[in-house]
Amino acid sequence: MNKIAFSVIASGSLALLIGVADTEASSTYTIKSGDSLWKIASQHNVTVADLKHWNNLTSDAIHPNQVIKVAAATVAPVPVSTPSPAATVQPAGNTVGTYTVKSGDTLSKIASIHKTTVSKLQELNKISGHLIYAGQKIKVTAAAVNPAPVTAAPQAPSTAPAPVSTPAPAAGTGRTHKVVSGDTLTAIAYRNGISVTQLMNWNGLTSSMIRIGQVLKIENTATAPSVTTPVSNPVPPAAAPAAADTAGKITEIAKSLIGTPYVWGGSTAGGFDCSGFIFHVYNQAGIKIPRTSTTGYDARSYDVNSPAIGDLVFFENTYRAGISHVGIYIGNNQFIHAGGDQVQVTNLNNSYWSKHFSGFKRLYAMN
């Protein structure tokens, strides 16, 4: 009898230890090269302040192979109990469809995290542009009620009006986009996962000129007429020299301001902060953009893997969490920016800036 009791106790203890070990493993993270506290916090849906508190950190400095906690110690035992997952299943049905925007977020980044597209997020949240703000709650999946109307819809076409509904899409009644201030064909195409050539073909355009209020098809519903206008193919090559000329202007104007003092909130030749410098240089080069913050320019641009001269370089977690500094890429692994005490040129391999590097982006206004 004693042997049986001992065996039961031993088995129970072993199961408990395995459960604890799994919990501890899932609540820690081993730092890799290029990681930052902000990036790790985003991946684990926690805040930088939480990570510092749980790991007794007094600064943002971390190093590769360092093991840090990514969950509060008191939360660890919860997964061991059976009732806990059941308790989280029901709330998830109500809350899984929303996301609270954090500083530094963009629609593109949120879409990537939730395996969806920017156009879907815009459609779900009735957003016509890319502007979002920290603390904003946005839908990232359709409500559970959505499937119900889908099953009801086929019942109507099964009756007499069925033949009437089929010609409608052929007449070009698919998804559309109404042009707003600041829109370009490239920006609209990028947001909807299509090409500029497709947009031009589907809308019978022979140039990239569009006007505010114009309604564009962003889905191919009438193939026969649109295929007849591949005349627009020469347009992209023609745009390349113009882009190069603009980039040259941006670089020339930016370099002429080297040595201008750093002034918080400044956006004139008398002094700049980092975002004020971007505003002044681009507008002087003929690219009309609003005066906004670093986060604002991040939201008005899209990621590029191979930067070109004139693209923006973003940095994170400098004086605050998230996107917090911006400069202009000028080639040869260098960027020009209002940083330190003046406008200056810095190499991206610089020990400070390399560890805060976030990525290269291109303003929609450049297209």
Q: In whole angstroms, what is the distance from residue 133 CA to residue 73 CA? A: 31
Residues 313 and 344 in one domain: yes
Same domain, 314 and 223: no
Of 130, 177, 280, 337, catalytic: 337
**Per-residue pLDDT, 5:** 45
Nearest one of 62, 70, 56, 67 to 34, comparing CA atoms: 62
Q: Are residues 227 and 318 in the same domain?
A: no
Tell me which H or E stretch contains 324. Answer: strand 323-331
- Hey, what's the torsion of the CAs at 305, 115, 78, 135, to 10 degrees? 80
239 vs 234: CA distance, rounded Å = 9
* Amino acid at position 79, single letter: P
Domain for residue 129, yes or no?
A: no
Backbone angles phi, psi at 148, to 5 degrees: -60, -50
Q: Taking CA 318 as the corner, what is the angle to CA 275 and CA 282, rounded to the nearest 5 degrees?
A: 15
pLDDT for position 227: 38
Beta bridge partners of 359: 314
pLDDT for the residue 82: 45
Range of the domain at 327: 237-366
Q: 161: buried, middle or exposed (CB in 10 Å: 19+, 13-18, 0-12)?
A: exposed
Q: Which of 40, 74, 94 is the last residue of a domain?
A: 94
Amino acid at 1: M
Provide the pLDDT for residue 172.
Answer: 43
Asked whether residue 327 falls in the same domain as residue 252, the answer is yes
The answer to whether residues 256 and 226 belong to one domain is: no
Is residue 192 domain-shared with residue 295, that is, in the same domain?
Answer: no
Of the residues 94, 120, 148, which one is the last residue of a structural domain? 94
Q: Which H helix or E strand runs over 23?
A: helix 2-26
274 is catalytic: yes
Domain containing residue 246: CATH number: 3.90.1720.10
Question: Quick check: is 177 catalytic?
Answer: no
Instruction: Say yes or no: 327 and 346 in one domain.
Output: yes
What is the mean pLDDT, run by run of 10 residues, along the chain of 367 residues?
Answer: 46 45 64 82 81 83 85 54 42 60 80 83 80 81 52 47 41 72 76 78 81 85 42 39 77 94 92 95 93 91 89 94 94 93 94 93 87
Sign for the pseudo-dihedral over CA of 148, 154, 157, 163: positive
In a domain, 105, yes or no: no
Give the model's pLDDT for residue 156.
47
Same domain, residue pair 198 and 294: no
CATH of the domain at 68: 3.10.350.10
Locate 54 and state its tokens: 């749980």
273 in a structural domain: yes
pLDDT of residue 65: 86
What radius of gyration do the chain's Cα atoms show? 26
Half-sphere exposure of 48 (CA within 13 A, CB side): 19
Catalytic option among 177, 274, 280, 356: 274
Q: What is the model's pLDDT at position 235?
A: 39
264 Cβ contact partners less than 8 Å away, ≥ 6 residues apart: 273
Say whether both 85 and 17 belong to one domain: yes
Asked, for residue 157, whether it belongs to a domain, the answer is no
One domain, residues 221 and 241:
no
Q: Is residue 362 a part of any domain in this protein?
A: yes
Q: Which of 29, 63, 94 is the last residue of a domain?
A: 94
Domain contains 293: yes
Do residues 205 and 184 touch, judged by C-beta distance below 8 A?
no
Which pair of tokens denotes residue 107? Answer: 């629609």
Q: Which residue has the tokens 């809350």?
A: 95
Residues 38, 157: Cα–Cα separation, whole Å: 51
Supply the pTM of this predicted model: 0.40
User: How many distinct structural domains can be found in the chain?
Assistant: 3
Report yes or no on 299 lying in a domain: yes
Catalytic residue among 130, 177, 280, 325: 325
- Among this protein's residues, is 114 annotated catalytic? no
CA 179 and chain centroid, separation: 22
Supply the DSSP string of 29-51, one letter for each residue.
EE--TT--HHHHHHHTT--HHHH
> Of 187, 193, 185, 111, whose CA–CA distance to 361 is shortest?
187
Does one domain contain both 86 and 187?
A: no
State whether 201 and 283 are in the same domain.
Answer: no
